[in-house]
Structure 1
Amino acid sequence: MSEVTAVPLRPVNKAGLAALFTSIGVLIVVGIGSAYATTKAPVMLAMPPAEFLAANAKRSGVKTTASGLEYQVLTAGDGPTPTLADAALVEYKGSLTSGQVFDASKPGQPVPMQIGQVVPGFAEALTLMPKGAKYRVWIPPQLGYGEREAGPIPANSVLVFDITMHEFAAVPQPNAEMMSAPHADGTPGTPPPTTIQ
């Protein structure tokens, strides 16, 4: 006959049970939160552009313009903002919602650009930014490349840009009075000579 040694168990009091169940509850909540956080990004990537932008617009700090451009101010900047007729000196990084970078300026080397000659969403974003500002913008397809592919950018893509506005200035417009009348044969006239003093 074998002997079984009984191990005496101490009774668990109510406070101990409450702590145990509270710990289990916390672990469940943390587990659910972790699962949500790790699946949220892939779920958003699988969304059509309109759904992605609708979900993105609900994020804290994201603002939406009347055209549908979404932006978040990362650094506010100060002073006036440029117009579509201005030229700007900016640093930028452009990516798809997947995070795949399709274009970027070199760090510390701002790029000059004519604001009115870039895709409408990028131009609109620049006109919101004072000097020194850094924004993250989400450009809907209709304000980007729409239904056409553009190099590594698939059709109907939401474009994500991080943009830093370094400087902007008005672009000098040609003065009509500076041009001479056309020649008798119809060829355009030449501007009058400038006087160097």
Structure 2
Amino acid sequence: MKYLLTPLLIAGLFLSFSAALVSMLFYTDVVDSPQELVSLLTGAEDQSGLPDDLMDQEDKLTTMLALVEGYRQEYEAQLDSLNAARNSLALTTAQVVELRGALQEELAARESTGDSAAFLRARQQGSVLAPAFSKIKPDDAAAILAEGSLSDTLVAHLMFELQPQQVARIMGSMDVTYAARITRMMGDLSVPQ
């Protein structure tokens, strides 16, 4: 029985001295709350209040190592976010380049479709007007064409539809610069495939 009471007595003394120590810490205002007591017992805070010049070199080194570790983790987090942003930027740039290429192809297709449609429309209008202009005197036809109510492209198509002798007479009656411009356009015109 005395072997059982000895450890019980030791445990009781330990608990009573611990309780007295805790009460003295609160009584002397070393700690003000249970959270401060926990941080004091775990060593999370330096409760000594010693100035830096009295601190151990080893403690300074530990503090510096903790700061370095914190900065390293911050740096790695920023590096990861920058790499993610770089990858996102590269992906967005690739998408923009792809969209630009598709847009340029579509624009070129629309322009060629629009040009060929305008070309066919002018050609059709020229073939419709050709019989009427073949019956008009060359001086009157030149005056009608020079007044600008018809587009130059339409005039060039109209000239293609007329007889060469009729075209020569009309061109001879026109202003020289206007006739040269129409002749140049007639040379540039080509039938679309």
Whichever structure has more strand as a proportion of its residues is: 1
**TM category, shorter:** under 0.3
Whichever structure has more helix as a proportion of its residues is: 2
TM-score (norm 1): 0.25
